[in-house]
Structure 1
Amino acid sequence: MQGFSLLCTSEWSSQTKRGLVSLNCSFSMAGLSSKGRRRTQMWMIPGADARQVAFSKRRSGLFKKARELCTLCAVETALVVFSPGGKAFSFGHPGVDTIMNRLPNLSKPDLEAIQCTEAEYEASLRELNKEYSDIMEKLRAEKLRGERLKQMRMESQGQGQSLVERPVDELNLEELLTLKSMLEEFKVKLRKRMQELSVEAGALTLISAGEIDASLGGSTEGNSSGDPCDHDVGHAS
């Protein structure tokens, strides 16, 4: 271990009538080694966390130096610093806005650029208003169409109920054809439902279509198809 000597001198002076009195104090120490204050190398600090810590410390020091400069030299200063994360920090005397407004490029905005931006904004606004109007018009048309379909459905259901409830002798040919179509559709749905119930009940054999037709139509004289609706229609015609 290399030897080391540290010399510390403290001097206190006082002017009196008898003269100058000086006090000198020195001491030495051996057996200690120190490299002293080292210069920080100027390259980017590796690691985001380490850079953030260094930024926080040096930002405070930078603002402190700017504040001291304003106090000692009566200057006006504005500083804007962005962190590694993009957050802005500022210091200004008498204020950041006051200093920035005094810059010629910022105090006199480009009128042509502003007018161009306003024109683009107005054009975009007109286009959006047109699209909105078209969408609202389509929405109103679809809503009206839905109301019409709902009304037609209700009328159709009411007409079907009235045909079933009215006596067959009072129906004309068009109404009889409509009733026949309704009964045929009902027969198809009934056959499908009976087959589903037969499967669910665990029947070994499914009811054939002919047996279902026979159970629905029965044996009708003068009707080769076994459909009472065909007989009624032919009689009415």
Structure 2
Amino acid sequence: MRFSKRKSGVHKKASDLVTLTGCQIAVLIYSPAGKPYSFGNPSVDEVANRYLNESPIIHDHNIFFQAKFAELNRTLNESLKAIEEIKGKQKALKPKLEGIPMNKLCDVEHASKEELRKMESDCMELLAKLEIRKKDIMD
């Protein structure tokens, strides 16, 4: 395995550990050529100074959790916005689809091989779902 892969793997694991636990961490890696690479949260210097001075960790998880909560909230808002955009597009497309006769959607006469295979696959999937639903209703 190449050094760059190991370095990125260690960096990713350290980042994940920080994200999941909010811990303070410092990682120092030397390349085969002797070049040092470091990663630290909040910084390598701060973690090293705290370790060397044997000063206690100041537990302020509240700041970490507030930052994580804000990040998750931002992600949620972006997802909700994307859902609303999709719903808007769906509403705009619905009248257009209602105006198309069903036989035009399944125009077998002018379909390519690939389109026919896709239609067949979709029909088989629909048939399987119908069989499952039929069993549910009949039992």
Instruction: Report the TM-score, using the length of structure 1 for normalisation.
Output: 0.22
Larger Rg: 1
Which structure is higher in RCO with an 8 Å CA cutoff and minimum separation 6? Answer: 2
Write 1 or 2 for the structure with the bigger share of helix: 2
Instruction: Report the TM-score, using the length of structure 2 for normalisation.
Output: 0.37
